[in-house]
Structure 1
Amino acid sequence: MNAGVRVAERLLDHGELPVLPVPAAEVERARVLAARHGMTAERAIDLADPVIARVERFAADPSRVAVADGDVRLTYAELAVRARRTAAFLLARGVEPGTVVGVGGERGWEIVAAFLATELIGALYVPADETWPAARVRDILAQAGAAVLVVAGEPAPALLAGAAEAGCAVERADAAGAFDPWPGKPRLDSLDQPRYVLFTSGSTGRPKGAVVEHQGMINHLYAKITDLGMTGTDVLAQTAPLGFDISVWQMLCPLVLGGRAEIVGDGVAHDPVAFARAVDERGITIVELVPTMVRHLLDDLAGAPVGALGGLRWMIATGEELPAELSRRWLTALPHAGLLNAYGPTECSDDVTHHRVTAPDLELLRLPIGAPIINAQLYVLRREDDGSWAACGTDETGELFVGGVCVGRGYLGDRDRTREAFYQDPFAATPTRRLYRTGDAVRLLPAGAGGADRSTLQYLGRVDRQVKISGVRMELGEIEAVLQRHPGVGAAAVVVHEFPAGS
């Protein structure tokens, strides 16, 4: 079997990235403003510790449950063994370090084991969602260069058809049970080793494969642990489809602490009443949903028993702008459960800002998205008439740029679009750091705005034609490009209309 093409050979080196044109005086001013307003958040953490290593340390406790998936409850010891069996299975199928493994099918414990297996052997994980049409599965597997697609459960016909069109062999995840556990140590050559690829919408009709590094993934896990005060007693709901970047931290973050990842199937996750019941019955303490689903959950809680969601510690809202009106409803209905507004692009290992919403925030027209997570640096810049960039002060609108270990490696096999969004970081103390241009307009709010005792950022919208619908990032140009492939369509224009809630 063809083992696939090594990802490192399809990524731009740092020296091939463009230099962001920022005059020296503005570089220093941006650094001063970022430090003064808390837009840098340095913290020393062990980025070299793989998740699978943490899992195996907790495996010494035979009663500790790592993943609950319906009637199946896997202890840490059982999950570690299954991950090593899957690693042996992938190696036998010709997968090599640095190449891509497609993983798809039903969300569940086998997906978690497959991710840990790629971490063990130094391969990259790329998810293929079972709800995608065959054409998208084909495009993603082909662009990723995946030689094998590991499927869990009963795969959808479109998943199989897409893999066949991409020339990608399909292997069932349960076949790994026949293999002896692979005995080696996790293969981690460097902190910037690519760890997974997630595909986002592209304006040309071709998806963009954002490559996330090991250090960015681990840093994000510890950012969530830090800002949520997570412990080994927490139970995190895994609700996100595999194609969403939040699915990664939902699977892995509890495993770093000895907590439990609770797989919530689509049938329950999409039914607010059933979901609220599952949160209570399964002891779930942390949930992450797009605001649209938060609204549905609150709508249906009116008929729920008194005390519903009583054990919930945190609701994280992400993927869409969080309305102040919806936040007011949450704070009134469930004052014991914190509401965290999270923001971040896939290209930067998921969220890069967090903000706990409080009552004073509701006086603002738009809620803050917060301050940077650990080891992220945020800069608000405006483009001048001569094409250079200048730093924005408080209450000035600019475009958000992200630096730090969270910034990924660019788009897989796509030099042009990588160079449009990724730059050499002129602000970093380390000359090899990268800077990501988000395309989001923001404003730096001074301390005291809303309920914050520190400066925060306020999201103001896109500077391009990208939109989010129910948390799914879409380029309107991609939709137009697909429509125009049809022989009966001469031209196409796509616009978004927003309707009031309940209309």
Structure 2
Amino acid sequence: MNAGLPVRDRLLPVEALPELDVPPGEVARARELAARHGMVRDRGVDLDDPVITRVERFAAERDRPAVADGRRSLSYAELAVEARRFATLLEREGVEPGTVVGVGGERRIEVLAAFLALELVGALYVPADGSWPAGRVRDVLDQAGAALLITVEDEVPAALREGAEAAGCRIVPADAARECEPWRGEPRLESPDQPRYVLFTSGSTGRPKGAVVEHRGMVNHLYAKIVDLGMTDADVLAMTSPLGFDISVWQMVCPLLVGGRVEIVPDEVAHDQVAFARAVDARGVTVVELVPTMVRHLLDDLPDAPAGSLGGLRWMIATGEELPAELSRRWLEAMPHAGLLNAYGPTECSDDVTHHTVTAPDLDLLRLPIGSPIINSRLYVLRRAADDTWAACEVDEVGELFVGGVCVGRGYLGDPDRTAAAFFRDPFEKSPTGRLYRTGDAVRLLPAGAGGEDRPVLQYLGRVDRQVKISGVRMELGEIEAVLQRHPGVGAAAVVVHEFDY
């Protein structure tokens, strides 16, 4: 148990990361190829400001609606006050800067307020989804070292309570913040590389891995969405993701950087496609993000929705699993007014690292492109040479994707071995905090003119290890095997994936 320990003391420092074995000549060649093929994208954006600072700035300039969840709505000023009440509660409960606090339950305004409050007091956010089994809650809170869990529902789900208690985590209801005075301090952001949140992904040992994301990586990803989607204060983003998914962070926060609005969609609406389409129209939602499976269900059920449904939608973002060309064709035909963005990225790199706007010429490809890098990211396609060193790939050559830039996170919390297996000192960009992440994904650069782009773009070809995605959920088959083998009646286990046509 690591409850209350500062996160910085449980991370592998960059100088302790292994070196990626790339010969000097290949280092120069990889840099040159990445630059020539548009796999380096630098853009100056302000990564220093806390999100709460932007919220309070909009509140002072011209207050406007910030967030709604079907139960209530808050303006920017009201959201800022609620966040500061939560900050007082956190400080009263003994939360120290650099430690981890759990926030658990369903999607609600209180989750966003608590997220901003943690930014104020300098602590890290780790979500515990209300739908998780008790064992998952226990593992996440225990590995995160969370001494406190803020619960946002009126009645704490039994599994959430059981898991928190098993992890030795105190439970504090969000309602306790109502009696607190707003906290009056300045946000405790020491530097842009300060760890901001921990999200847990599947692990092959049977225990999840806690990926630590920095403030600057998070904010850079928010601005990447703003830039590539052209988001303004007129946009309304639907928050549909469960709290345990990395996309929940940007869905919850991104519009607040431009004065837009977050619409938190409850599960009973998000899982009913006709009800969801009605909610998108009624609430003026302009940006939606779904896994392709849910995009398919939405298109299947649209004939049962009112005529003209989704007419105000500007963007559909597909993420979490491979986007089929056939599904993209259906979307472009049914929704010509709404762009389709294919997004790809690992949790370890602050969420998405590539974007691709799907167009009709892309549909002739066997597999759609995942595109080119988001701002301030650097992508390298490398292959193992005969001498076991790494070499840069040419266009159309299959290799493994490596990610550099400010998006790369700190590694896995309290897990130096698995950190050292996936994170390296960046040989291509020499800087004190330069890290390179090995995605484990096979990709290739498509030549200019393939699909709808006049420049090379990346195409995803699958995992190089045994990690898979099912309905947008990333998991390792080895983790499932390890859990099965914990049962006293199981001597050995093997897990494979089958695809069925229904």
Superposition TM-score, scaled by structure 2 size:
0.99
Task: Output the CA distance in 2 between the equivalents of 1:46 and 1:62.
Answer: 21
Task: Output the CA distance in 2 between the equivalents of 1:163 and 1:379.
Answer: 41
Residue 63 of structure 1 and its aligned partner are, at CA, apart by 4.8
Task: Output the CA distance in 1 between the equivalents of 2:433 and 2:385.
Answer: 26
Equivalent positions of 1:111-150 (< 5 A) are 111-150=111-150
Task: Output the CA distance in 1 between the equivalents of 2:222 and 2:463.
Answer: 27
Task: Output the CA distance in 1 between the equivalents of 2:99 and 2:434.
Answer: 24
Task: Output the CA distance in 2 between the equivalents of 1:441 and 1:364.
Answer: 17
Equivalent positions of 1:210-289 (< 5 A) are 210-289=211-290
Task: Output the CA distance in 2 between the equivalents of 1:277 and 1:46.
Answer: 36
User: In the alignment, which residue of structure 2 is the partner of 1:183?
Assistant: 184
Is 1:208 matched with 2:198?
A: no
Contact residue 466 and residue 475 of structure 1 kept, 8 A: yes
Task: Output the CA distance in 2 between the equivalents of 1:61 and 1:377.
Answer: 36
Residues 192-239 of structure 1: per-residue CA shift (max 9 Å, x gap): 100000000000001000000000000000000000000001000000
Equivalent positions of 1:35-434 (< 5 A) are 35-60=35-60, 63-153=63-153, 154-434=155-435
Deviates more, 1:404-413 or 1:489-498: 489-498
Residue 99 of structure 1 and its aligned partner are, at CA, apart by 0.1
Deviates more, 1:171-180 or 1:63-72: 63-72
Q: Secondary structure at the match of 2:41?
A: coil
Task: Output the CA distance in 1 between the equivalents of 2:421 and 2:103.
Answer: 29
User: In the alignment, which residue of structure 2 is the partner of 1:476?
Assistant: 477
Contact residue 106 and residue 242 of structure 2 kept, 8 A: no
Task: Output the CA distance in 2 between the equivalents of 1:26 and 1:191.
Answer: 31
Contact residue 3 and residue 96 of structure 1 kept, 8 A: no
Task: Output the CA distance in 2 between the equivalents of 1:190 and 1:81.
Answer: 24
Gaps of 5+ in 2: none
Contact residue 447 and residue 454 of structure 1 kept, 8 A: yes
Q: Secondary structure at the match of 1:458?
A: strand
Task: Output the CA distance in 2 between the equivalents of 1:441 and 1:106.
Answer: 35
One-letter identity of the residue aligned with 2:256: L
Task: Output the CA distance in 1 between the equivalents of 2:458 and 2:20.
Answer: 22
Residue 306 of structure 1 and its aligned partner are, at CA, apart by 2.2
Residues 86-132 of structure 1: per-residue CA shift (max 9 Å, x gap): 00100110100000000011211000000000001100000000010
User: In the alignment, which residue of structure 2 is the partner of 1:14?
Assistant: 14
The change in CA–CA distance for 1:157 and 1:94 in structure 2 (over 3 A counts) is same
Task: Output the CA distance in 2 between the equivalents of 1:142 and 1:177.
Answer: 28
Is 1:31 matched with 2:31?
A: yes
Task: Output the CA distance in 2 between the equivalents of 1:383 and 1:275.
Answer: 46
User: In the alignment, which residue of structure 1 is the partner of 2:454?
Assistant: 453
One-letter identity of the residue aligned with 1:161: E
Task: State the Cα RMSD in Å.
Answer: 1.0
Task: Output the CA distance in 2 between the equivalents of 1:184 and 1:119.
Answer: 11
Residues 288-344 of structure 1: per-residue CA shift (max 9 Å, x gap): 000000000000012223211000000000000000000000000001000000000
Q: Secondary structure at the match of 1:302?
A: helix
Contact residue 68 and residue 262 of structure 1 kept, 8 A: yes
Q: Secondary structure at the match of 1:59?
A: helix
Contact residue 423 and residue 438 of structure 2 kept, 8 A: yes
Residue 190 of structure 1 and its aligned partner are, at CA, apart by 1.1
Contact residue 106 and residue 243 of structure 2 kept, 8 A: no
Residue 431 of structure 1 and its aligned partner are, at CA, apart by 4.6
Task: Output the CA distance in 1 between the equivalents of 2:456 and 2:379.
Answer: 12
Task: Output the CA distance in 1 between the equivalents of 2:62 and 2:404.
Answer: 41
Task: Output the CA distance in 1 between the equivalents of 2:215 and 2:156.
Answer: 29
Task: Output the CA distance in 1 between the equivalents of 2:62 and 2:332.
Answer: 39
Residue 455 of structure 1 and its aligned partner are, at CA, apart by 1.3
One-letter identity of the residue aligned with 2:336: P
Contact residue 425 and residue 431 of structure 1 kept, 8 A: no
Contact residue 86 and residue 113 of structure 1 kept, 8 A: yes
Task: Output the CA distance in 1 between the equivalents of 2:246 and 2:259.
Answer: 22
Q: Secondary structure at the match of 2:403?
A: strand
Task: Output the CA distance in 2 between the equivalents of 1:207 and 1:125.
Answer: 16
Gaps of 5+ in 1: none
